[in-house]
Amino acid sequence: MKNLAREILELHTLGVNGGYTQTDVTAFAQIITGWSIGGGKGRLAGGIPGCFYFRDNLHEPGAKTFLGKTYRETGQRQGEAVLTDLAVHPATARFIATKLVRHFVADDPPSAAVERVALAFLKSGGDLPQVYAALIEAPEAWNPDRRKFKTPEDFVFSTFRALDALPQKPQEMVSGFELLGQRQYTPGSPAGWPDISKSWDGSDAFLHRVAWASRVASRYEQGLDPVNLAASSLGGYARAETMTALRRASSASQALALFLMSPEFQRR
Amino acid sequence: MSPHHARTTRRRFLIGAGALAASVASPTVIFARSGGAARLVVVILRGALDGLAAVPPYADPNYAGLHRELAIAAPGRADGALALDETFGLHPSLVFLHARYLAGEAVVFNAVASPYRDRSHFDGQFVLENGLAKPLATADGWLNRALAALPGGAVHPRERGLAIGQNVPLILRGDVPVFSKSPQATPGIDEELLARLGDLYSKDEWFAARLAAALQTDRLSGEGGSVMDAPVMSPVSAAPDRLSIAARMAATLMRSDGGPEVAVIEAIGWDTHANQGGAKGALAQRLAGLDRALRLLGDDLGPLWPQTAVLIVTEFGRTAAMNGTRGTDHGTGGCAFLAGGAVRGGRVIADWPGLSHTALLDNRDLRPTLDLRSVFKAVLDEHLRVDAKTLATRIFPDSSGAPPLKGLIRA
């Protein structure tokens, strides 16, 4: 429970510098005692297997103080009340805004954009569509000097979209994720996948990326015109030297691999 | 409680407990003097290893009561610890490490910590790896800054740092080019495509640098490929023993012509919140895997072993008391190991604060009495010969409170 409480605070709401203490972590853990999953045996009987289930007999009774506020004893609702407050906390707004801007704008999130998005979060009480709208309206998001190196997942998805193809077997896509170091659903940490290019640009990972692009290109080149495909996919971002390189390629398959590995396509 | 137990509650330095073992003139010492450039392998145990299980303070009167069924019994008892000295033992899974200790080739640290004092894995690892007092993920790593300080520094003609894994962990990131190599076999890529990519990246420095590093890795791995075919010692579980494969790969690459002098290996799975186990169980299996990887690393480094130091660290320790799910939670003080032919070992270094109520930090964690940076600095100073001023200013700024230990490496 204490670990879950810490993760909720650190990874999903306030963020590690969000102003909570070890005492808050302990209090929050007590507040969510009894939160459980249904379908156990004996003492843990009751509820629907695999679904949330509140076990009153495992809940630590009494009022608890968390982040300076006292929450009276309301069973399951005590934890819900805390989550409701956490969801609109200024530290949460800032934490979510930072993550969004880092993901969509730049590894080192520009503070003006973070402020703008955090403000929208606070003003709307955490209404995500309004938060996303603020992100879209941020001028930093439209900077043509795009600075995000695609994660393996971005790369694999965008490759199949650019090819306008569905993988012939699911395994083709799955093996792409695995080869490039991002096997789906297994981030290895409750914080999720890392979201900065340094986490994905190791020399071995880069080599695997080239290898995967080359393999996909040879499998999907039939009936494709790589130069036209690159021009329509990259639009205004296409560099002259990339288009020249594609035209001079020794085969359609090679041209396709060069397109997929071009800096324009590898960034987003 | 025997009188012996009462005695161990005093704070005392245990340096020199195995001085006899270290002073025996073994062939190792002779090799170390003539063996060429020092090699350093850093093993990062991500998830926070329970130092009180790996290096059980079996003689501490509060240990068994706090750690309960997770505690390791005293040496000589059933499933007991491997004896180090009158206070500490090693977890019974750490057989090879114990043999190195007896041979005077391993130092065991306890009650150590980085300057980080909160309990987030991620921030804890950032501090462990960036060498600063603050968890800045975007900083560079202390091991990369150390490479920059070596003769030749950033303009050295070849890559001297290796990360085993697809990507480079923070500790090794920075200005000095390093490379990564994962235990997964690299598929063949046709040479012409690589040459054309080189042209395509000619005006994009970032991509050009990535490609150059990738090609360097590919070249080195001509020899490393055999690692994949090498049989791995009987793994405890059915899962492939990644750590052993990583250790062998590091050794093979370090032994290759122009191979790296510094390597980083990462091992996950130490976050034992539930069902940690004692002499047997989940953590015991992990430790056995670590021990096996260490043995394979030593075997495969072969003639390089006498000039090698292996530093094994984790982001922080775990709670002194067992929790409600038969595990331990994030703590502060923990353990570390330094092993290798170049190490002046056979010693436990621990200014033991004890585990009594009043001795614990925040009434829950082992109180750290030694800053890990004192160990890092000693290794960089005595082993890699990084000069003291650079160590104090550029590599570990704001670390004046953590002076380097002395005499960790054989002269």
Quick: pLDDT tens for B349-405: 999 999 999 999 999 999 999 999 999 999 999 999 999 999 999 999 989 999 999
A21 touches chain B (CB under 8 A): no
CA of B275 vs chain A CAs: smallest distance (Å): 14
pLDDT confidence tier of residue B191, bands split at 50, 70 and 90: confident
CA of A91 vs chain B CAs: smallest distance (Å): 17
Residues in A closer than 8 angstroms to B213, CB to CB, are 203, 206
Determine the Cα–Cα distance for residues A196 and A204; give it in Å rounded to an integer: 17
Contact A249 B323 (CB under 8 A): no
Contact B163, B169 (CB under 8 A): yes
Nearest to A102 by CA among A199, A36, A30, A7: A199
Q: Match 């843990």 to its residue by tokens.
A: A44
Q: Which of A5-19, A165-179, B55-69, B121-135 has the largest mean confidence?
A: B55-69
Of the candidates B193, B200, B273, the beta carbon closest to that of A241 is on B200
- In chain A, DSSP assigns E strands to 35-37, 52-54, 64-66, 69-71
Per DSSP bridges, beta strands B334-339 and B106-113 are antiparallel
Contact A16 B167 (CB under 8 A): no
B175 touches chain A (CB under 8 A): no
Contact B217 A204 (CB under 8 A): yes
**What are A71's strand-pairing partners?**
A64
Residues in A closer than 8 angstroms to B120, CB to CB, are 6, 10, 16
Please name the residues between 303 and 332 in chain B that touch chain A, using a CB distance below 8 Å.
Answer: 323-324, 329-330
**Over the stretch B230-267, which tens digit does the pLDDT of each residue have?**
333 333 333 347 788 899 999 999 998 888 999 999 98
Range with the lowest mean pLDDT among B3-12, B115-124, B286-295, B385-394?
Answer: B3-12
pLDDT confidence tier of residue B119, bands split at 50, 70 and 90: confident
Contact B186 A198 (CB under 8 A): no
Contact B137, A98 (CB under 8 A): no
Residue of higher predicted confidence among B5 and B351:
B351
Of the candidates A2, A196, A210, the beta carbon closest to that of B329 is on A2
- Interface size A-B, in CB pairs within 8 Å, comes to 125
Determine the Cα–Cα distance for residues B111 and B366; give it in Å rounded to an integer: 7
Residue of A99, A204, A247 to mutate, testing the B interface (most B Cβ within 10 Å of its Cβ): A204
CA of A201 vs chain B CAs: smallest distance (Å): 6
Contact B163 A202 (CB under 8 A): yes
Tell the burial category of B100 from Cβ atoms under 10 Å away from its Cβ (0-12, 13-18, 19+): buried
Q: Match 């999903």 to its residue by tokens.
A: A12
pLDDT of residue B184: 63
Residue of higher predicted confidence among B221 and A141:
A141
Q: Is the pTM of this model over 0.80?
A: no
Q: Is the dihedral of CA B40, B44, B45, B51 positive or negative?
A: positive
Which residues have CB under 8 Å from B157's CB, separation 6+?
none
Which residues have CB under 8 Å from A244's CB, separation 6+?
none
At B74 the three-state DSSP class reads coil
Contact A203 B330 (CB under 8 A): no
State whether ipTM is beyond 0.85.
no
Interior/surface letters A147-161, b for 16+ CB within 10 angstroms, e for the rest: ebbbbbbbbbebbbe
Please name the residues between 152 and 211 in chain A that touch chain B, using a CB distance below 8 Å.
Answer: 179-181, 188-189, 191, 196, 198-208, 210-211
Determine the Cα–Cα distance for residues B349 and B108; give it in Å rounded to an integer: 6
Residues in B closer than 8 angstroms to A239, CB to CB, are 203
Please name the residues between 200 and 239 in chain B that touch chain A, using a CB distance below 8 Å.
Answer: 200-204, 206-207, 210-211, 213-218
Residue B82 confidence (pLDDT) above 90: yes
Cβ count near A190 (within 10 Å): 16
Determine the Cα–Cα distance for residues A152 and A36; give it in Å rounded to an integer: 35
Contact B139, B394 (CB under 8 A): no
Residues in B closer than 8 angstroms to A254, CB to CB, are 192-193, 196
Residues in A closer than 8 angstroms to B276, CB to CB, are none
pLDDT confidence tier of residue A167, bands split at 50, 70 and 90: confident
Of the candidates B166, B199, B207, the beta carbon closest to that of A204 is on B166
Residues in B closer than 8 angstroms to A4, CB to CB, are none
Determine the Cα–Cα distance for residues A190 and A4; give it in Å rounded to an integer: 10
Q: Match 């880092």 to its residue by tokens.
A: A102
DSSP letters, A205-251, are HHHHHHHHHHHHHHHH-TT--HHHHHHHHHGGG--HHHHHHHHH-SS
At A27 the three-state DSSP class reads helix
Please give the share of chain B, as a percent, with pLDDT higher than 70.
82
Mean pLDDT calculated for residue range B332-348: 97
Residue of A14, A24, A207, A267 to mutate, testing the B interface (most B Cβ within 10 Å of its Cβ): A207
Contact B120 A208 (CB under 8 A): no
Range with the lowest mean pLDDT among A50-59, A84-93, A146-155, B32-41?
Answer: B32-41
**Over the stretch A222-264, which tens digit does the pLDDT of each residue have?**
888 899 999 999 998 899 999 999 988 878 888 999 999 999 9
Q: Which of A162-176, B82-96, B121-135, B200-214 has the largest mean confidence?
A: B82-96
B397: its two tokens = 């700024």
Q: For residue B287, which phi and psi values (nearest 5 degrees)?
A: -65, -35
Range with the lowest mean pLDDT among A57-71, B105-119, B157-171?
Answer: B157-171
Q: Computed over its alpha carbons, how large is the radius of gyration of chain A? A: 24
